[in-house]
Amino acid sequence: MPARTATAAATAVATCALGFAALAAAPAAGAVAGSAPPAVTARAAAVDRCSYQVVRDHDSRYVYTVSRVAGGVTRELPVQKEDYVRFSGDWRMAVQVDACADGGPAPTALRVTGRLADPENYDPSVPRTIRSGDLRPAAPSAVPKAPEVTSVVRLDAATARVRWQPAQGAPDQVMLMERKPFYSSELGIWHPYTFQRDVPAGATSLDRRLERDPGIPAGQRTHSYWMRVVKGGFVSDLRAERPVTIEP
């Protein structure tokens, strides 16, 4: 599949679009009873032996890291994959980290730290560092499984039908992820953009419009589709997403 690399302008558009979304906070997991609420609210679950998922709120002023807490030692973990995910209308950042990359012990807890990206641009009253409480990871069973896309077939010159396997485990939301060219009237360019389409309960197909404008650059015409589900505050394994593509 062609590399899905957005231009700097595309990144700016996506960032602005997400900036209008309400990034509400999920309940914190593992906070010490009786303590003040942590500045970063998040929850965590083990995806497998090495990968952990952290779903947190997001303040775009900060740069975030996830650390392992084990044996009294805290160490930052490398990110495997991350994405904004809409949970029942509220946007969260879902991050998956690798706890085996450095050969360290399995975490007894995870901790999120946010550091103000440009402190010189903010009043001293704005916290320079914000943190979550210690997050005790839920079991891997807490992370739902997404169905696979089985086919993408062209119905006519401008329409494709995407089919997928039935969702298992009664997820809270089932979403068809669609990446296709998007025209920014503000910037006057076409660029790849990812949309999250909620699908009706029990549905196993959805018809999608193909963008065929002659102004779309040749290298950005590909349309890609994959499935994602949400349940109990966690999203399906982001690493397991395998887009199926079609050229309009």
Q: What is the pLDDT of residues 214-247, one digit of tens each?
A: 999 999 999 999 999 999 999 999 999 999 999 9
In the chain, which ranges are E strands?
Answer: 42-46, 51-56, 62-70, 73-76, 79-87, 90-98, 109-116, 129-131, 149-156, 159-164, 173-184, 189-198, 205-209, 223-231, 234-235, 244-246
As a whole number of angstroms, the distance between CA 92 and CA 238 comes to 14
Sign of CA dihedral 165, 169, 170, 176: negative
How confident is the model at residue 35, as a pLDDT?
53
Which pLDDT band holds residue 54 (cuts at 50, 70, 90)?
very high
How confident is the model at residue 37, as a pLDDT?
65
pTM above 0.85, yes or no: no
Instruction: Map tokens 């979304």 to a residue.
Output: 21
Q: What are the tokens at 138?
A: 């839920």
Q: What is the pLDDT of residues 17-48, one digit of tens each?
A: 443 333 333 333 333 444 566 799 999 999 99
- Sheet of 51-56: strands edge to edge? 42-46, 51-56, 90-98, 79-87
- Whether residue 10 is predicted with pLDDT greater than 90 in this model: the reply is no
Nearest to 248 by CA among 158, 162, 163: 158
| More confident: 72 or 64 | 64
Q: Name the amino acid, one letter, at 9.
A: A
Give, in order, the Cα–Cα distances in Å from 170 to each of 138, 176, 202: 19, 16, 10
- Whether residue 6 is predicted with pLDDT greater than 50 in this model: the reply is no
Residue 211 burial (CB count, 10 A):
16
Burial 194-207 (b: 16+ CB within 10 A, else e): beeeebeeeeeebe
Contact (Cβ atoms closer than 8 angstroms) between residue 228 and residue 196: yes
How confident is the model at residue 13, as a pLDDT?
40
Q: What is the pLDDT of residues 131-177, one digit of tens each?
A: 999 999 999 999 999 999 999 999 999 999 999 999 999 999 999 99
Q: What is the pLDDT of residues 77-125, one digit of tens each?
A: 999 999 999 998 899 999 999 999 989 899 999 999 999 999 999 999 9
| More confident: 17 or 194 | 194
Question: Residue 43 CA to chain centroid, in angstroms?
Answer: 14
How confident is the model at residue 36, as a pLDDT?
61
- Whether residue 12 is predicted with pLDDT greater than 90 in this model: the reply is no
- Whether residue 11 is predicted with pLDDT greater than 50 in this model: the reply is no
Nearest to 196 by CA among 172, 211, 176: 176
Q: DSSP code of 8?
A: H
As a whole number of angstroms, the distance between CA 236 and CA 168 comes to 12
Which pLDDT band holds residue 179 (cuts at 50, 70, 90)?
very high
